[in-house]
Amino acid sequence: MAGCMYPKEMRKENQITAKESILLVQNAVDQYKEKNGVLPIKNSEMSTPVYEKYVLDLKKLTQGPYLGQMPGIAFENGGSSMFVLVHAETKPEVKLLDVAAYQKTGDIQKWVDEYKSSRGGDIPKGEPAGTNVYRLDFAKLGKKLEQQESPYSRQYLGFLVDRNGTVAIDYAPEIMQAMERKGMKSADAQTDLRELLVESAPYVPVKSFPYYWIDNEPKATAP
């Protein structure tokens, strides 16, 4: 019964499937790049956030001799994840993007955009939660509090908004736990701590701000 309390992707049998799928896709990506000299990715804008920028075009892999079939967890195959690359320009590594988190944040972004446009640019911000970052005040939006189930653990994460009205998921609790697992008491002030999540799990921290070690804790930072 306890296993049922975890997000679908984190249950043991699905976690194995995720890791196996990543290995298969990684092998296909490596072969594709070796043969074609480019990565099998979809086009994106320069301004696209780093963990959403390099979405794999699985059709390029399945239509060639690289990937036998579309993985069951792939969004394109009715699954809950999109395959993306991290470190694309140095050592491309396949990871997963949680589509539910991506879509829910997008829905909330629409609420904030409507609020902002109807109130002369005001932002529905609550308490400060980092550098130019605040807790998102759902009461100001006339909505009930929303949280997002984390792909890293069974906990629910809150939402943040920056001074420009951009919405993001608050990964600070997950980063803190990742640091604790590694026995880290502090971190270099110039290091984006989201990389700890990328290193330790199959998922990227989609819809996130950079996090830096400030005042003895990981804090979100926006321009």
**Of 46, 76, 98, the domain-final residue:** 98
Cα(100)–Cα(81) distance, rounded to whole angstroms? 8
Cα(141)–Cα(198) distance, rounded to whole angstroms? 32
The residue that leads in pLDDT, 147 or 17, is 147
Cα(18)–Cα(162) distance, rounded to whole angstroms? 32
Residues 67 and 161 in one domain: no
Cα(76)–Cα(99) distance, rounded to whole angstroms? 11
Residues 71 and 155 in one domain: no
Residues 92 and 122 in one domain: no
Q: Strand, coil or helix: what is 106?
A: helix
Q: What is the mean pLDDT of residues 195-211?
A: 97
Residues 122 and 201 in one domain: yes
What backbone phi and psi angles, to 5 degrees, belong to 91? -135, 90
Q: What is the mean pLDDT of residues 78-91?
A: 96
- Our CA dihedral for 188, 191, 192, 198, rounded to 10 degrees, sits at -90
**Of 46, 66, 98, the domain-final residue:** 98
Judged against a pLDDT cut of 80, whether residue 15 lies above it is answered with no
**Of 98, 114, 138, the domain-final residue:** 98
Range of the domain at 192: 100-221
Tens of pLDDT, residue by residue over 115-128, are 999 999 999 999 99
Cα(183)–Cα(165) distance, rounded to whole angstroms? 35
Judged against a pLDDT cut of 70, whether residue 6 lies above it is answered with no
Establish how many alpha carbons lie within 13 A of residue 39's alpha carbon, considering only the half-sphere containing its beta carbon: 22
- State the pTM of this model: 0.90
> Domains in the chain: how many in total?
2
Judged against a pLDDT cut of 90, whether residue 5 lies above it is answered with no
